[in-house]
């Protein structure tokens, strides 16, 4: 009996061990696949979380089951590959991330090579892991412009593609089947290294495979063929007609797909759709003067999509009106232009290994024109005094901005004669910025005209805004907030909320941020509130400007004035390549914020639960609010126009406000002066109360600063100071006020 019991216990223990091993193996495989999926959609935080889970799982299993060193070493390769994926995505944030990613990939590849040298056959999982390492190393080299090295890795991938076809993960974003995507990637690497004959032959095979099949698959094949043809045309010259035809067909397929399916997409599906579309947008700009009309329509379509990506109100679905707006054409925009007005879509793109800029100019008559502009790197490298333009743009010190707006040579580079000569007789110039223009108030740099009136230069998120009638703000009620008390422990009483941005809290606590009380902000809020007529608005000051209260009220007023501290991380972020698409994440929007009551108290509290409202209202949190009724939002704070500069625009407070549905916005390009800001905003609101259109009211308020040397101080004591310098008068910009 005793012996039978012992045997039974041994059997049960063996079964437990087998089940545990099976459970571990299954869980490990799930994590490995999950981490790779996060890499496909550029979710760096998702990769990081999977890495932590894999490391913890491996450590627990090592201690419980005495895994052999060989098994541990093999499993470590999965972790090492995912670390390389993580650093690949981190390369937009850290300069040395490229080297770390390459080291991780090569270390793992050397491990597999060592096993083969020792005569050990790789398992199917190990073989596939090595296959992916070659592909991801190719993507890394391609991203760095190391095209011969990328081609060498893709040759290995291409030679093994058929063997691993059944293992490949679909991207799930409407791109090519993974096997044919490898063929297309190989063709792009061949084209980048000058082997156009083989590249065209290969990509033609991909196109033929999808012709007369699923339209999105066919569209993606057309896009990559167009890219190969453009690379050939740039290297060898000749006509771009075939590439233009591919791009036109691709665009029509995508526009048709959007009109049929966009309204049913949730926020995540819209982002995936944009990920697949985005490479086409910047690629087709390489056509330049070959077809400016196509480029203008593409720009309207792309910016229409971008304005919808971050909408998360309700179920986050696009409205029928938004979907209809995706079909806007340059002809419709032209019909909205008066005879003495022009619209400009500025575009940045890569061609011949260089970043370039162009202007798509649309006037009241005629077709769109393409005008080549000064290259962005030339602008940024230009020295204004002892600082380059790039250095002056990167600082938030207002004094360092003056030289930018007083240098005639720089002004001529920003507004070259090739463009201004086409704008001689225009009274209004509407423009949508790109690249460095998001950090520079180019509307205040337009060269003075020699005769006639100086044109009004108006900034828009997209010239498609001209299709929307500007509502009147006369007699509109305003929510006015200012004089915020940041040291306010009572504000910590709010309950937890699922959408509080704990990432923003972590950023600011790590920086040991502390916000000082702004005397001018209280004067500004009191003065603006006193100007309101009819008593229909609401004033919040001191400790009343809490995050829950502001969230609750901000969507109910046509005008919102928020006077407080702002902060952002102004940097560039690359989003994807030909070989691997990039993705926009909430991370960038978590790096920009405005401070509300209690922010300091919460940041100093080491035990604070960051799931509760923390007084730090991030751009990501703003994106989730419904402010579709807000006709004007004034973010009277430092740095609210800044954010991560991406090919898709600025990811900061202004993006959060547009995602929330706000109409016109006023935001700042650097750290602003308290007194000058108070003067500007009170004169601006007085103009609105007097019934002036937003643009006129704002221009008149700036004119006040430009013409006075009397600074408005919080205590109103006699004090003379010149506030007409650019650091005061040019700090704020008005966006999307078409009247």
Backbone angles phi, psi at 417, to 5 degrees: -60, -30
Model-level pTM?
0.85
Tokens, residue 700: 């008149």
Burial class (CB in 10 A: 0-12, 13-18, 19+), 146: middle
Separation CA 686–CA 608 (nearest Å)? 41
pLDDT tens-digit profile of 296-310? 999 999 888 877 665
pLDDT at 18: 45
Tokens, residue 531: 């100007």
Q: How far is CA 33 from CA 40, 54, 63, 79, in A?
A: 11, 12, 24, 12
Q: Say if CB 711 and CB 721 are below 8 A apart.
A: yes
Q: DSSP of 465-484, one letter per residue? A: GGGSPPPP-TT--EEEEEEE
Separation CA 217–CA 181 (nearest Å)? 10
pLDDT tens-digit profile of 362-414? 999 999 999 999 999 999 999 998 999 999 998 989 899 999 999 999 999 99
Q: Going by C-beta distance under 8 Å and a sequence separation of 6 or more, which residues neighbour residue 627?
A: 554, 555, 560, 633, 657, 660, 661, 662
Tokens, residue 276: 């697949």
pLDDT along the chain (739 residues), means of 10: 44 43 80 86 84 90 76 89 90 84 94 90 89 93 93 95 81 72 93 96 94 84 94 91 94 90 79 80 91 96 77 58 85 95 94 91 96 96 93 91 94 96 92 93 88 85 88 82 84 60 86 88 90 80 93 93 84 53 63 92 86 90 90 91 76 88 92 88 91 92 81 49 84 90
Q: Say if CB 228 and CB 191 are below 8 A apart.
A: yes
Separation CA 554–CA 313 (nearest Å)? 14
pLDDT at 5: 44
Q: Say if CB 444 and CB 315 are below 8 A apart.
A: no
Region of 172 on the Ramachandran plot (φ > 0 left; ψ -120 to 50 alpha; else beta): left
Separation CA 607–CA 498 (nearest Å)? 18
Backbone angles phi, psi at 384, to 5 degrees: -100, 105
Look at the chain and count its residues: 739
Q: Going by C-beta distance under 8 Å and a sequence separation of 6 or more, which residues neighbour residue 479?
A: 537, 538, 540, 553, 554, 556, 557, 559, 560, 561
SS3 446: coil
Of 432, 254, 346, 321, whose CA–CA distance to 661 is shortest? 321
The two most distant CA atoms of the chain are separated, in Å, by 112
Of 11, 120, 137, whose CA–CA distance to 74 is shortest? 120
pLDDT at 724: 83
Q: What is the dihedral of CA 252, 257, 263, 269, to 10 degrees?
A: -110
Of 244, 118, 138, 122, whose CA–CA distance to 185 is shortest? 138
């Amino acid at each position: 009996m005793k012996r039978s019991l012992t045997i039974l216990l041994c059997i049960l223990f063996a079964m437990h061990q087998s089940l545990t091993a099976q459970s571990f193996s299954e869980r490990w495989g799930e994590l490995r696949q999950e981490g790779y999926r996060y890499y496909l959609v550029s979710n760096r935080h998702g990769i990081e979380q999977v890495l932590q889970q894999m490391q913890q799982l491996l450590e627990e299993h090592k201690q419980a089951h005495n895994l052999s060193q060989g098994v541990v070493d093999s499993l470590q390769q999965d972790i090492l590959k995912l670390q390389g994926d993580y650093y690949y995505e981190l390369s937009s944030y850290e300069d040395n991330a490229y080297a770390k990613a390459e080291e991780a990939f090569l270390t793992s590849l050397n491990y597999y090579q060592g096993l083969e040298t020792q005569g050990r056959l790789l398992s199917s999982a190990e073989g596939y892991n090595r296959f992916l390492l070659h592909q991801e190393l190719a993507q890394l080299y391609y991203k760095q412009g190391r095209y011969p090295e990328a081609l060498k890795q893709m040759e290995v991938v291409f030679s093994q593609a058929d063997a691993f076809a059944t293992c490949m993960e679909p991207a799930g974003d409407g791109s090519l089947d993974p096997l044919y995507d490898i063929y297309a990637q190989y063709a792009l690497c061949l084209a980048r290294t000058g082997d156009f004959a083989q590249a065209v032959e290969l990509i033609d095979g991909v196109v033929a495979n999808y012709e007369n099949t699923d339209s999105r698959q066919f569209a993606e094949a057309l896009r990559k063929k167009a890219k190969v043809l453009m690379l050939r045309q740039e290297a060898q010259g000749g006509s771009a007609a075939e590439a233009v035809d591919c791009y036109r067909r691709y665009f029509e397929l995508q526009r048709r797909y959007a009109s049929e399916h966009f309204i049913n997409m949730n926020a995540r599906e819209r982002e995936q759709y944009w990920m697949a579309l985005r490479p086409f947008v910047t690629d087709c700009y390489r056509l330049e003067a070959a077809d400016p009309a196509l480029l203008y329509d593409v720009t309207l379509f792309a910016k229409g999509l971008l304005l919808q990506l971050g909408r998360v109100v309700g179920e986050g679905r696009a409205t029928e009106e938004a979907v209809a707006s995706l079909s806007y054409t340059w002809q419709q925009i032209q019909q909205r232009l008066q005879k003495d007005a022009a619209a400009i879509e500025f575009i940045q793109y890569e061609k011949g290994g260089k970043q370039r800029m162009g202007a798509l100019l649309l006037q009241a008559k005629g077709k769109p024109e393409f005008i080549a502009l000064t290259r962005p790197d030339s602008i940024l490298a230009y020295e204004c005094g002892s600082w380059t333009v790039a250095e002056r743009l990167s600082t938030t010190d207002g004094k360092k901005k003056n030289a930018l707006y007083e240098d005639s040579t720089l002004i001529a580079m920003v507004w070259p004669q090739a463009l201004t000569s086409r704008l001689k007789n225009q009274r209004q110039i509407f423009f949508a910025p790109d690249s460095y223009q998001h950090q520079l108030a180019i509307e205040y740099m337009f060269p003075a005209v020699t005769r006639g009136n100086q044109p009004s230069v108006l900034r828009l998120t997209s010239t498609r805004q001209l299709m929307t009638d500007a509502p009147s703000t006369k007699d509109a009620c305003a929510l006015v907030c200012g004089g915020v008390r940041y040291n306010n422990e009572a504000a910590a009483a709010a309950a937890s909320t699922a959408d509080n941005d704990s990432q923003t809290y972590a950023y600011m606590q790590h920086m040991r941020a502390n916000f000082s009380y702004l005397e001018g902000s209280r004067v500004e809020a009191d003065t603006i509130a006193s100007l309101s007529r009819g008593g229909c608005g609401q004033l919040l000051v001191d400790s009343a400007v809490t995050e829950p209260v502001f969230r609750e009220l901000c969507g109910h007023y046509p005008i919102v004035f928020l006077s407080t501290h702002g902060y952002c991380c102004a940097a560039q972020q690359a989003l994807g390549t030909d070989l691997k698409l990039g993705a926009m994440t909430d991370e960038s929007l978590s790096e920009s914020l405005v401070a509300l009551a209690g922010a300091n108290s919460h940041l100093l509290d080491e035990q604070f639960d960051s799931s509760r409202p923390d007084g730090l209202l991030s751009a990501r949190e703003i994106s989730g609010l419904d402010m579709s009724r807000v006709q004007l939002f004034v973010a009277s704070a430092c740095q609210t126009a800044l954010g991560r500069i991406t090919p898709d625009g600025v990811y900061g407070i202004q993006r959060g406000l547009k995602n929330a549905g706000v109409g016109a916005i006023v935001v700042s390009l650097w750290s602003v002066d308290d007194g000058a800001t108070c003067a500007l905003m009170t004169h601006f609101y007085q103009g609105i109360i007097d019934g002036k259109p937003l643009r006129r009211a704002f221009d008149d308020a700036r004119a006040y600063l430009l013409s006075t040397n009397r600074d408005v101080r919080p205590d109103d004591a006699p004090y003379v100071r010149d506030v007409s310098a650019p650091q005061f008068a040019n700090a704020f910009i008005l966006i999307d006020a078409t009247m």
